[in-house]
Amino acid sequence: SQTIHQWPATLVQPVGSPLSLECTVEGTSNPNLYWYRQAAGRGLQLLFYSVGIGQISSEVPQNLSASRPQDRQFILSSKKLLLSDSGFYLCAWSPRGLQGYEKLFFGSGTQLSVL
């Protein structure tokens, strides 16, 4: 069966520090991968999605970046965090090209607090 791992669960970082959040998917190959941010009381905001290694689409211009160095690994990064980067970050995956499986599966999330 497929599983998605996301870590860390909680992170407290000072303003101006770098960020690296990692997500891996097991039990499938060639998935679509996504990073979302969820602010309190607001919906899910798509940040990045990827259809393959090295292929990243950015939905929101900001100081965050994403990379996909391996087929089932997705990394969210920042060189210098801002206060506004605080939020709940979710990694997700969906099977690609598999009819009947047009759905998203989420990781457990990372609560990021920038102080």
Partner 1 sequence: QKEVEQDPGPLSVPEGAIVSLNCTYSNSAFQYFMWYRQYSRKGPELLMYTYSSGNKEDGRFTAQVDKSSKYISLFIRDSQPSDSATYLCAMSANGNQFYFGTGTSLTVIP
Q: Which is nearer to partner 1, 56 or 105 (CB)?
A: 105
Q: How many CB atoms lie within 10 A of CB 16?
A: 11
Phi, psi (rounded to 5 degrees) for 18: -80, 165
Task: Kindly tell me which of 60 and 104 has the beta carbon lying closer to partner 1.
Answer: 104
Find the shortest distance in angstroms from Cβ 16 to partner 1.
26
Peptide bond into 8 cis (omega under 30): yes
Residues that bind partner 1 (CB under 8 A): 6, 32, 34, 41-44, 46, 49, 51, 88, 90, 94, 96, 100-109, 111
Cβ of residue 71: shortest distance to partner 1, in angstroms? 17
CB of 13 to partner 1, least distance (A): 17
**End-to-end Cα, the chain, rounded Å:** 38
